[in-house]
Structure 1
Amino acid sequence: MKTKSIFTGILLMVFLLSAVAATAMARDWKQEQDQMFATIGAKPGDVFDKNNVDQIAKYLPPGVVTWVKRGELTIKLADLKYDVYPGEEWETLSQKNVGKYGLDKNKEIIEVSTGKLPIYVEGDLYPNIDYANDPDAAIKFIHNVVAMRGRLGSLRCFPSTEWVGKGGLERLALSEYIDNYQWNRPDGQIPNRNEMLQQQLYKFVKPYDLQGMTNLTQRFLDPKPDAVYAYVPAIRRVKKLSGANRSDPYAGSDFVIDDSFGWAGKNASMKWTMVEKEVITLVEMPRWAADKAIVCNKQQDGSFMANSGNFRSAYEVEGATEAPWQKVDAVWVPRKVRVVEANALDPYYTYGKCIYHVDPYMGFVHKAIYNRAGEYWKTMTIFPGCYDWMDGGKLVRRITTGYVIGYVVVDEKTQHASVSEESGTVEGQLLNPKFMDPTIKLNMFEPTYLTTWSR
């Protein structure tokens, strides 16, 4: 009888713990969003310009407030019509990592049990960060956000880069971009004989004077710097570059390679500091991306192709009053973010400190860039997207942190901007991403491949 009572008690305890866990995982995202609007003192549909932006200034980066006060931007508030949440499967994987990973002296990720670098991970590496007391909270948070991009798997897209001055569009280039992640892949662990974390390929498709220029980055699991290679058609040679070259202007634009995704460098190459543990900020998105997640239909080859529309800049719209580089189809939605500061450890890195607003689920959404002298230099906004992978009308996976719809970066000293778009069509070229592209092979990410790929 006593044994039966103990058994019953255990069952009851398991049930209660399960109920608590289920309650903790339940998300009333709509109520949370309503509360953010109440805190801001505004509602969806409200519009803010230079005459009333002070009412919401504390919920915007200072650079964006400056744009509005100069009459270069109008803020149109909207609500997200869906929950940006990676799902319970992700939460379950993350909780399995509690206490599993630590940091070495270089702030690289290691397994606590072995002291070695992990070859493969699933979920957030640090699911229960102590933001109040852990001095490494900032870089652990960044490791989590960047590692989540692995859910993209193997990615191919054709982004545009636009040089935009006060007079409008000056130049437009189209590129092909291939990205391959080793961690958190939807298809599970794949061979990784060179112990890579990530591989990236860029190639200019047009205009003619840039056509064929390529760039390869190999990012390793160990602390050594990225291996960066470039192929220049004019000299028909592959050149090995320094990792610091990722902070050089990208083909003469206002972007650098590390501006991809807001931040695309090696995490341990920076000293990260937590500025704000949690604040409300307004995030810029296309209206159609705020209304619903972007559908990615499964293709015959097994990949998932995004179906998203154009995201117009003011220079494309007759009568637009905003700065030529600003997005006229944009709305701003409230999100809870963490604010972190990054300072490069490499003295040859072009940027000084950078202040990031980072959404735990949607990734990097704002970036304030200073030069090495400590002067404010650039303001950057990143447009996140949420992607639903669909197979025959059935949801396979919701992708949150990782892929973005585009960027605007403004050089505040020259009053010049560059815009990147990765959605819709430009000059007949479809920009939309294809996820889990089976034509992407590991042997493509070798320096010898650049000469073949650039043809």
Structure 2
Amino acid sequence: MQSMKRIRQTVVAGLGAFMTVAGAIAAELPEGTVIDKSSIDRIKSDTFEGKTIASLLTEKLEWQIRNWNLKLTLSHSKPVELNQRYKDCSKKYADQVKYDPATREVSGWVCGVPFPNVSADDPHAGDKLIWNFYYASPEGDIAHNRLSYLQINGDKGLESTQDWLFLRYYYKGRTSDDNHVLDDGSVLTKTLFVATAPQDVKGVGTFTVRYDSPKMEDTWAYIKSARRTRRLSGGAWMDPIGGLDQLNDDIYIWNARPSWYPKIKLLSRRWILASTDAKLGYDSTKKDPVEQWGRTTDLKNPPYWNPIQTWQPREVWVIEGTPPEEHPYSKKIVYMDVNYPKIYLGEAYDKKGEFWKFLNFHIAPTVGQDGSKVQSSIQGETIDFKARHATIFVYRQYSVNDKGIKATDMSLSQLEAIAR
């Protein structure tokens, strides 16, 4: 009996020692912890908000930490607040929305999220989730953004900066007022996207009319040398923006009608780290561009494109899209929040199936001029790892549902006026 008692005491003591060691090995990390190449192996088994760092890092994020000097500063996630009208729309109209597997098109959508309860077991889950994003990404009915593009050479640093205006006006799915549809409902959005400085690029840009149908967009570009506009082909949605690393299809990470992609599939549901509490960092009091933007991007240390923002745990859908053959990419993988249709990260692959570009957008909770609560993309990197080059956009100022902008302001003549 004494022998059995001693055995039990030894076992209990051993378990206690094991648990003490395990606790010392795996700890809950405090807010402000920095994940970098010097710390990643030491803290991968530790947790943040109850989830291991290993489980929160995507493959490409970890690869950048180890090989490209990326540093992630942890901060606690906050509940996402959305416009009540947006939520009411989803509840009121979702039952009448229909998905057609033959055409992969959607009918019956009025406003809000068309498919609020997508199951991972649904064979069309990938399509429906991207339709949610395409129709109902909560950026507001009018996005009025003045931004700068930073062109970054991964070996030499900041090459140049350009100022642009991005103005997108929704004609359908409007939640800022009771009139959800303007005009006859054939147009989904109109977008003005044009460079305003410096002088050598001023006027480069487009005016795009996006229809709520499989019909390709109508897009016009301003030709500086001829001082006139020219209509572009229907494939302009997959062309590069000016001389930047970003495609038109990379605006908001995904900028195509879902049915234009021959195949979209859901890969998984998981937790990741994403930048969802971003801060504007442009300092207009500084003259040196490196100092002007140094609070948003690490312009002093190679590869000069890594962001200076905080990162929070978010649960996401991982979705893979196969674009048409003429598209530069062979596939695009995106990471979209499961609670509302916002894409945080994207990966683009070349025609050989090799990793090519990384897209990372930083989100900021925003209140529109009408009081709407939305989630705005205020900074983002498109990194071309093959070219060792990046294009970063950073907002200097922005507004949502700007009361001074009318539907009549969205026109080809407006593009010409801005360009000239």
Q: Same fold (TM over 0.5)?
A: yes
* Equivalent position SS for 2:144: strand
C-alpha displacement of 1:288: 4.5
Q: Rate the CA distance shift 1:61–1:242 in 2: closer, same or farther, 3 A.
A: farther
Using the alignment, how far apart are the partners of 2:278 and 2:139 within structure 1?
25
Match of 1:447 in 2: 412
1:48-69 residue CA offsets vs partner (Å, 9 max, x unmatched) = 2113425134422322212110
Task: Output the aligned Cα RMSD.
Answer: 2.5
Greater C-alpha radius of gyration: 2
My pick for the range that moved more, 440-449 or 70-79, is: 440-449
Q: Is the 8 A contact 1:262 1:364 kept in 2?
A: yes
1:312 is aligned to 2:296: yes
User: TM-score scaled to structure 1, two decimals?
Assistant: 0.74
C-alpha displacement of 1:287: 5.7
Match of 1:357 in 2: 335
My pick for the range that moved more, 247-256 or 145-154, is: 145-154
Match of 1:184 in 2: 174
Match of 1:398 in 2: 373
Q: How does 1:41-440 map to 2 (within 5 A)?
A: 42-54=29-41, 55=44, 56-80=53-77, 82-86=78-82, 90-104=86-100, 105-111=102-108, 118=109, 121-132=110-121, 134-149=122-137, 152-165=140-153, 166-182=155-171, 183-189=173-179, 190-193=181-184, 195-270=186-261, 271-276=263-268, 278-285=269-276, 288=279, 311-315=295-299, 320-321=300-301, 323-328=303-308, 330-345=309-324, 347-360=325-338, 361=340, 363-389=342-368, 396-400=371-375, 403-422=376-395, 431-440=396-405
Q: Is the 8 A contact 2:163 2:197 kept in 1?
A: yes
My pick for the range that moved more, 174-183 or 431-440, is: 431-440
Using the alignment, how far apart are the partners of 2:91 and 2:246 within structure 1?
37
Using the alignment, how far apart are the partners of 1:107 and 1:453 within structure 2?
38
Q: Is the 8 A contact 2:270 2:317 kept in 1?
A: yes
Match of 1:7 in 2: none
* Equivalent position SS for 2:129: helix
C-alpha displacement of 1:46: 2.1
Letter in 1 for 2:310: V
Gaps in structure 1 of 5+ consecutive residues:
1-38, 112-117, 290-308, 423-430
Using the alignment, how far apart are the partners of 2:96 and 2:346 within structure 1?
31
Q: Rate the CA distance shift 1:248–1:275 in 2: closer, same or farther, 3 A.
A: same
Q: Rate the CA distance shift 1:440–1:150 in 2: closer, same or farther, 3 A.
A: farther
C-alpha displacement of 1:194: 6.3
Using the alignment, how far apart are the partners of 2:301 and 2:69 within structure 1?
7
1:55-104 residue CA offsets vs partner (Å, 9 max, x unmatched) = 13442232221211025111211113x42132665444322234311123
* Equivalent position SS for 2:372: strand
Matched positions, count? 367
Gaps in structure 2 of 5+ consecutive residues:
1-25, 45-52, 281-292
C-alpha displacement of 1:353: 0.3
Q: Rate the CA distance shift 1:41–1:337 in 2: closer, same or farther, 3 A.
A: farther
Q: Is the 8 A contact 2:366 2:374 kept in 1?
A: yes
Using the alignment, how far apart are the partners of 1:91 and 1:445 within structure 2?
27
Q: Is the 8 A contact 1:226 1:266 kept in 2?
A: no
C-alpha displacement of 1:246: 2.6
Letter in 2 for 1:275: L
C-alpha displacement of 1:244: 2.5
Q: Is the 8 A contact 1:286 1:331 kept in 2?
A: yes
Letter in 2 for 1:125: P
Q: Is the 8 A contact 1:106 1:223 kept in 2?
A: no
1:353-375 residue CA offsets vs partner (Å, 9 max, x unmatched) = 00101114361111110112312
Letter in 1 for 2:313: P
Using the alignment, how far apart are the partners of 1:43 and 1:279 within structure 2?
22
1:206-232 residue CA offsets vs partner (Å, 9 max, x unmatched) = 111111122011111111111121111
* Equivalent position SS for 2:126: helix
Q: Is the 8 A contact 1:283 1:333 kept in 2?
A: yes
* Equivalent position SS for 1:280: strand
User: % of aligned pairs identical?
Assistant: 23
Q: Is the 8 A contact 1:151 1:185 kept in 2?
A: no
